Structure 1
Amino acid sequence: MTPDADDADPSIEDMLLEFDEGAQLIQDRSLLDPTHVVDEDRIVGRDDQLTEITRMLRVAIGGNRPPNLFLYGPSGTGKSLISKAVCDKIDAICAQRGIRFGTIELNCQDLDTLGVAVYELAERAADAAGVEVEVPKHGVATKEKWDELYRIVNDHFDAVVIILDELDMLVGRRDKDEPAFSRLLYQLSRAGGQADAFDAHVSIVGISNDTKMLEQVDSRALSSYTPEEVHFGDYDANQLQDILHRRQDAFADGVLDGDVIPLAAAYAAQTHGDARKAIDLMRVAGELAERGGDATVTAQHVEQAQANVEKNRVLEVVRGISTQKKLCLYATAAVAAESTDGTARSTTGFRVYEYICESIDAEQYQQESYVNKMKELTTYSLVEFERQSRGPTSGVFLEFRFAEEPTTIMETLREDSRINDLHPDELDSVVAAQLRGES
């Protein structure tokens, strides 16, 4: 029997049109996108860094080569935003003066080898120039990719700023313990003085959350790179409020209650002063109000947004990751939960991961894959890491620190029946033994 038309569920089109015709509280969603490069008057709380970077890069408008830069500090503190905003202004002025200026942006987070990184740089240079890359991505030597990058830049630009965001993530295959980002910096910074390399003026802007990244750069690469360093600290609650006030016109007039911005800023200030989190909170609060058919965005929406963000980040993300990532995360969290400072070394986490895989008869990856999967999890803000060394006997390792309580993450992961089959007492004994072995 055909259901009565009045009883039928609304179609996708009906639901879309109902939303389109309803009162939309958010008018300009781009202002609530933390990656969107906003106008200069919306950049606040970073006057010193903005001035410093502008003064160092401005020589490009005179047809000269700017110095190399290294911008470092926690996530969401304006590093990428300011570097891109300054380059956008330089691009506009250079266009008026007939100088062919280009910005080549590369996020190194998901790149696994030097060859991949070089090809991605060539692709982004080609995009900026409006041309095509003339070498294949696979099946050619890395030198051919370098040559293609040189060709594109030399044929189409007089000056280029290469922005390497999250540079410390490009570890790749190591050669004598030298990470791929070190080799990339060495080649790029030397290329300006080599025959058959860059004829254009090229400046390299490295961006990292890891304050100690340069300690991992080979001395030859560091000598060639020789960057000017600019530090970005956490935003405080007042600065976060200023940032949100300058984006409140993303909403229709009068729909934001007075408590919304202070509360969103306060929540973000509690978690390392991350502007991205503050902006995300305000966006989610607005979307919750819209979905609820409310006329205003209130503090209650912000509180719900905060709860949703935490739930989504800790629970939904953890539940949705692959089995191998779950095993890596569970092993690392188990170590962090028992360590005295709440951190977990990658070397120790990997040994516990090996025990877990053997216990549940799961496929076991090599240590490099374990580290890469843990690094991938940093994109969800579940875990952060720094490179550390405890002297010549310990070597270099990654030190993981969790944004949430490791035990909370472990409890969620135990919803997976395979992980729940692990014997807690045996796991505790293995973790304790591995931690004793660190000293």
Structure 2
Amino acid sequence: MLLEFDEQNRLIRDRSLLDPTHVVEEDRIVGRDEQLQEVTKMLRVALGDNRPPNLFLYGPSGTGKSLITKAVCNNINRICESRDIRFGTIEVNCQDLDTLGVAVYELASRAADKAGVEVEVPKYGVATKEKWDELYRIINENFDSAVFVLDELDMLVGRRDKKEPAFSRLLYQLSRAGANDELTAHISVVAISNDTKMMESVGSRALSSFTPEDVHFDDYDANQLQAILRRRKDAFFDDVIDEDVIPLAAAFAAQTHGDARKAIDLIRVAGELAEREGDDRICEEHVREAQDKVEKNRVLEVVRGISTQKKLCLYATAAVAAETADGSARSTTGYRVYQFLTDSLDTDQYHQETYVNKMKELTTYSLVEFERRSHGPSSGMFLEFRFAEYPETILETLREDSRLDMVGHEEVKNVVRAQLRNQR
């Protein structure tokens, strides 16, 4: 069977170009000239005996923040090697780090990997200060200059009994260590976040020592997404992609917040579907099939593993987003729809704070994003949720749970519309 599949037409030539996390050459980076120049200009001082400034890169997911940072740091590393400068990029994704101590150990572990040495303290059972000391030791002994890249930093909240989030304490300690000579190497911190309001949660001490240069990343539009996909077209063999494939994949991705990762995933899945079906070309139908597959797979993967209460919170919020012109849902409105659902199903009903916390937890699956907002003194503060996929797809998937399907879809719509009228 393997040999039979091997003899079928192969359409994909270089799969690495269809991996959204793969660091590509600069000429493949599209629509980010300004951001590329800014990040390069500010980090290039690492090529000499100087400390680069700290950076805060913010904007929606899939807009090139991590890609540009990695590309610039890779170029700096190559030049530093030719100049006998020991440069390191210490990168961590904070999404799965639950405490400050775990984050510091992860930084030490990544630094040790880069340097080819061992971490000499355990991950658990020692004070966080010992982990900081070990991180400083590794950096000081093995690097002249280092950039700490903290991706999805806003996810590092830490224990709730602390007065400020763990990411604030991490920024404070790293930036202060460089100023207090605990680190003899020149270090810079690049904080990356989808939450444009993240810096508002940083404590005053951390903010005064971190003082970053801000670099904003907008959504990609359909034309930019097309250009990104055309720069990766050589991932496929020559003349196997129909002309309307790239514009359609870009249009789908542009509809869901201009996410380049989504566009690249779509065209990859379309190619894989065409290969599996034994077709000799990738056509529009493969892209449409890929769109359904990518959306439903992501949503199903999340929904199958979450609790009933999280499903209710997600359903209520998606129902609101499906009825708004811009696809957003206020936490205050979503909570009232959640109350209707729990009353209808005669199930436990939690306070609004718990509803908000459960929705925040769902951001770790990259299914929903939020921003803190206020529409004037009379409305107060609230969170505004936006979905990475179509809200309708999320609702359709959630209704596969027989209990949720007991509440009539039209009835929920009517409740949402009434709440939206009150919202105005």
| TM bracket (short chain) | 0.7 to 0.9
- Decide whether aligned partners of structure 1 residues 138 and 373 sit closer, same or farther in structure 2, where only a CA change above 3 A counts: farther
Measured in 2, the distance between the counterparts of 1:133 and 1:435 equals 55
SS of 1:25's equivalent in the other structure is: coil
Change (3 A) 1:50 1:403: closer
Per mean C-alpha deviation after superposition, the further-off stretch among 394-403 and 118-127 is 394-403
Which residue in the other structure is 1:322 paired with?
Answer: 306
The 3-state SS of whatever aligns with 2:248 is helix
**C-alpha displacement of 1:434:** 10
Partner of 1:129: 115
Match of 2:87 among 101, 104, 110: 101
Aligned-pair CA distance for 1:45: 1.5
| Superposition TM-score, scaled by structure 1 size | 0.83
Is the CA contact (8 Å cut-off) linking 2:256 and 2:390 kept in structure 1?
no
Contact kept in structure 2, 1:77 and 1:234, CA below 8 Å: yes
| CA-CA distance at 1:149 after TM superposition | 1.1
Alpha-carbon spacing, 1:426–1:253, altered in 2? closer, same or farther (3 Å): closer
Change (3 A) 1:121 1:438: farther
Q: Cα offset for 1:133?
A: 1.6
Deviation (angstroms), 1:438? 9.7
- Asked if 1:158 is matched to 2:144, the reply is yes
**Counterpart residue number, 1:141:** 127
CA contact (8 A) 1:56 1:67 kept: yes
Partner of residue 412, structure 1 = 397
Post-superposition offset of 1:102: 0.3
Select the residue among 43, 48, 51 that pairs with 2:37: 51
1:279-428 aligned within 5 A = 279-314=264-299, 316-317=300-301, 319-324=303-308, 325-333=310-318, 342-345=328-331, 349=335, 352=338, 356=342, 374-378=359-363, 380-388=365-373, 398-403=383-388, 406=391, 409-420=394-405
1:264 and 2:238 equivalent?
no
What residue in structure 2 maps to residue 4 of structure 1?
none
1:5-24 alignment runs, 5 A limit: 14=1, 16-24=2-10
Which residues of structure 1 form unaligned runs of 5+?
1-13
**Which of 75, 89, 107 is matched with 1:89 structurally?**
75
Shift in alpha-carbon separation, 1:223–1:406, aligned structure 2, 3 A: same
Q: Within 1, Cα distance between the matches of 2:220 and 2:198?
A: 22
Deviations 1:57-76 (A, max 9, x none): 11111131100011111111
Over residues 236-262 of structure 1, what are the superposed CA-to-partner deviations in whole Å (9 max), with x where a residue is unaligned? 222222211111111112211222222
Higher alpha-carbon deviation: 301-310 or 386-395: 386-395
- Of 181, 190, 199, which aligns to 2:184? 199
Unaligned runs of at least 5 residues, structure 2: none
Could you give the per-residue CA deviations for residues 154-183 of structure 1, whole angstroms, max 9, x where no partner exists? Answer: 111111000111111222224665222111
Which residue does the alignment assign to 1:8?
A: none
Alignment of 1:169-318 (within 5 A): 169-174=155-160, 177-195=163-181, 197-314=182-299, 316-317=300-301
Tell me the distance in 2 between the aligned counterparts of 1:207 and 1:350.
Answer: 33
Quote the sequence identity (%).
71
Q: In 2 relative to 1, CA 438–228 (structure 1 residues): closer, same or farther, beyond 3 Å? A: same
User: Structure 2 length normalisation: TM-score?
Assistant: 0.86
- Distance in 1 (alpha carbons) for counterparts of 2:408 and 2:226: 47
CA distance in 1, matches of 2:333, 2:156: 19
Shift in alpha-carbon separation, 1:84–1:393, aligned structure 2, 3 A: same
RMSD (CA atoms): 3.5
Q: Which residue of 2 aligns with 1:10?
A: none
Which residue in 2 is equivalent to 1:7? none
Task: Give 1:25 deviation, angstroms.
Answer: 0.6
